[in-house]
Chains A and B, each alone.
Chain A
Amino acid sequence: MPFLQASFDDEALLLRATHAVRRAGVEIADAYTPYAVHGLEEAMGLRRSRLTWVCFAAGLTGAACAMLFQVWSSAASWPLNVGGKPFASVPAFIPVTFELTVLSAALASAFFFFFRSRLYPGRPAAPPPQVTDDRFVLVVADSEAARRLLSTAGAVSLTRAEGAL
């Protein structure tokens, strides 16, 4: 279906327009901004990301693996008397466990972010002009109402495009 691109030069106008079209029940495809505009996600009605759960799970896994491996390697695989300490010197294993927790949590989160956002090195991208610089672009389903709304919302330009980006 055809889309309408309205570009603004100020985040306030973008926000206002977004609220307007949403109220008017126009379907919002996406918005493009040079930086994270606060309040835009509410305006567009986006859900909170579930990345936090990935992070939590990965952290737990990292912790478990680290502690288990340390205990296994020092107490089961090849137990050695080191400085008179027990084979499984659990307190001494905590630092490495902690580090691996953080490592796996961080790496997993980042990986899933890029994966979910389908971002990868060299991915071709043709964002609307200047959105990475000083333009704020709102993309909505093309319709008379939308045009009227957006042209009065202070868009510096309106463009019709076939299909979302």
Chain B
Amino acid sequence: MADHASVSSLREPLVTKPRTLAGITDDILGQMQRRPTARWWIAFSLAAALLLLGVGTVTYEILTGIGTWGLNRTVGWAFDITNFVFWVGIGHAGTLISAILFLFRQKWRTSINRSAEAMTLFAVMCAGVFPLIHMGRPWVGFFVFPYPNDRGPLWVNFRSPLLWDVFAISTYFTVSAVFWFVGLVPDLATVRDRLPPGLKRRIFAVLAMGWTGSARIWNRYETLYMLLAGLATPLVLSVHTIVSMDFATSVIPGWHTTIFPPYFVAGAVFSGFAMVLTLMIVARAVMGLDHLITQRHLENMAKIIIVTGGIVGLAYGTEFFIAWFSGSAYERFTFINRATGPFAWAYWIMVSCNVISPQLLWFKKLRTSTVALFVLSLVINVGMWFERFVIIVTSLHRDFLPSSWGTYAPTKIEVFTLLGSFGLFFTLFLLFVRALPVISIGEVKSVLGYARPKLAAPPAEPASSVLEVA
């Protein structure tokens, strides 16, 4: 109450234009009720086209064989697992924003967490595709589940990091989805009550689970939201930790690295925030929400990118130091080979995108320039994709026995599959902005009065006479 009553001169409003509660509702729901703009249609058809391309290539690959990819006896993973780790990484910002920032009472999160969570779900869907299609026999992919079967029963290998992935990714997706939906319920009710009678209203009525806004339920709701946030926070850290163990627990020089868990988590947050930036900048431009998604939001995310980018840079350095310090000839060779070998180009793309480019954000001028942020966010995502590519391919292509050293080059099929995953991601996201409130109405309303003088004293005159209800 106190913070609400008094106005701190240090704080800036989270919602820049003065708005009434109803105004907020209009701003956000307007997006859904208005007809889609031409720009939306263009974006959507592009995304859908990419998605179709992806579906086509994956079908071809599954019908013909993994041989349609550029892999060989030395390099058994390349684009497939690179894309997987990349998308999982993207999927980290959402939950991080909604959970961790929530726990830290970062109220500025309120206008971005909804779409960030949606982004998480879609990114994890994209990620989930790859472990499945990278299998030689995807049609028996269900072998990875420990179900009672007639083969013994033969269970699964709980020592395998790939199996940990199965559990980590599915848990992460489920919990994120629950978290997202719970956050949506009050807004779904708002939509329900706004809509004219009809099919759409009936659908939202079902989804809203009969939400009435009762204070008793709000009270319980707050607890649940807190719990989910508290659970999602260690979860989000665990997921990329486990993904990093795919490599860290192996014997291959360049993979067998104990700093991978923190290194990967930082990288994930790094790329995740870059992707949120990309989407937010587009969203506020296209949907005119810049009074809700303000310059300040962008700047805060930029700051987080500086920090995580720094951690990533530190990790790169540490790897090299340990490679030298370990005294292992294989380890040393692998890292020298990364920086100077056949894939040096990839390595230096990674370094310049992930370590050098974020340093530009130290300048407030760039940090506050939407264009600069947009470009940098793209650059960083390119860099993070290459980070995974470098880790996977350069470590594999020259390992212990020089006799089996080889090289790797992707085929069209692999490139199309990557494009297809972007198609899937953007198709889902564009549908989301049409179908659901992209900003958490309830939460924004709760911070509307934030850092604003309290309303004037209540009117003294008595209320209008009581209407009798039969």
Direct contact between the two chains A and B in their complex (CB within 8 A): yes
Which residues from chain A contact B178 at a C-beta distance below 8 Å? Answer: 106-107, 110
Return the contact of B458 from the options A13, A41, A48, A126 (Cβ within 8 A).
Answer: A13
Q: How far is the CA of A99 from the CA of B271 in the complex (A)?
A: 23
- Chain B residue nearest to A14 (CB atoms) is B215
Which residues from chain B contact A92 at a C-beta distance below 8 Å? Answer: 158-159
The answer to whether B220 touches A103 (Cβ under 8 A) is no
Chain A's interface: helix, strand, loop or mixed, by majority?
mixed
Which residues from chain B contact A158 at a C-beta distance below 8 Å? Answer: 463-464, 466-467
Which residues from chain B contact A126 at a C-beta distance below 8 Å? Answer: 212
- Chain A residue nearest to B220 (CB atoms) is A49
Cβ < 8 Å to B, chain A residues 101-139: 102-103, 105-107, 109-110, 113-114, 116-127, 130-134
- Chain A residue nearest to B238 (CB atoms) is A98
Which residues from chain A contact B466 at a C-beta distance below 8 Å? Answer: 4, 147, 158-160
Chain B CB within 8 A of A100 CB: yes
Which residues from chain A contact B209 at a C-beta distance below 8 Å? Answer: 114, 119-123
Which residues from chain A contact B20 at a C-beta distance below 8 Å? Answer: 134
Interface string of B216-248 (1 = CB under 8 A from A): 111111111001100110110010001001000
- Chain A residue nearest to B185 (CB atoms) is A119
Q: How far is the CA of A89 from the CA of B35 in the complex (A)?
A: 58
Q: Using a Cβ–Cβ cut-off of 8 Å, how many residues does chain A contribute to the interface with B?
A: 86
Return the contact of B167 from the options A73, A96, A161 (Cβ within 8 A).
Answer: A96
Q: How far is the CA of A40 from the CA of B215 in the complex (A)?
A: 7
- Nearest CB in chain B: distance from A52 CB, A: 6
Cβ < 8 Å to B, chain A residues 54-78: 55, 69-70, 73-74, 77-78
Chain B CB within 8 A of A141 CB: no
**Which residues of A approach B to under 8 Å, CB–CB?**
4, 6, 9-13, 15-16, 30-41, 44, 46, 48-49, 51-52, 55, 69-70, 73-74, 77-78, 82-83, 85, 89, 92-93, 95-96, 98-100, 102-103, 105-107, 109-110, 113-114, 116-127, 130-134, 147, 150-162, 165
Which 6 A-B pairs rank lowest in CB-CB distance, beginning with the nearest? A123-B210, A154-B458, A134-B21, A73-B155, A127-B212, A31-B215
